[in-house]
């Protein structure tokens, strides 16, 4: 989940992906409850992440998760509630 402060949000978008890539983590997900977006990145052969999915609404099947269907539109209010707790 994208952090609330600008410093931490930068870390989520810039520093963490580099850290995860060094360890060979194939998929990196970013859920932004403020922007109501889901982004999924796949680790490429060059060791960098490439965006494989960007979605804000509808039913999505994230890459690498065959059979999983995520109904995003109805989930944002639930995510916002969890973030507030």
Mean pLDDT value of segment 46-75 = 91
Residue ranges of domains in the chain: 6-84
> Does the pLDDT value for residue 35 go beyond 70?
yes
Q: What is the mean pLDDT of residues 33-51?
A: 92
pLDDT at 1 over 70: no
Per-chain mean pLDDT for the chain: 86
> pTM of the full predicted structure?
0.79
Q: Return all residues near 1 (Cβ < 8 A) that are at least 6 apart.
A: 30, 31, 32, 33, 79, 83
The predicted structure's pLDDT at residue 3: 61
Q: Distance (Å, rounded) from C-alpha 73 to C-alpha 61?
A: 13
Q: How far is residue 55 from each of residues 33, 38, 68, measured CA to CA in Å?
A: 12, 5, 15
Residue 15 has what pLDDT? 86
């Amino acid at each position: 989940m994208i952090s609330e402060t600008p410093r931490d949000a930068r870390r989520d978008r810039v520093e963490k992906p580099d850290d995860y890539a060094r360890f060979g983590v194939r998929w990196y997900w970013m859920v932004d409850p403020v922007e109501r977006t889901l982004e999924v990145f796949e680790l490429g052969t060059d060791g960098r992440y490439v965006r494989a999915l960007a979605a804000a609404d509808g039913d999505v099947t994230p890459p690498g998760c065959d059979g999983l269907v995520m109904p995003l539109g109805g989930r944002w209010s639930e995510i916002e509630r969890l973030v507030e707790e």
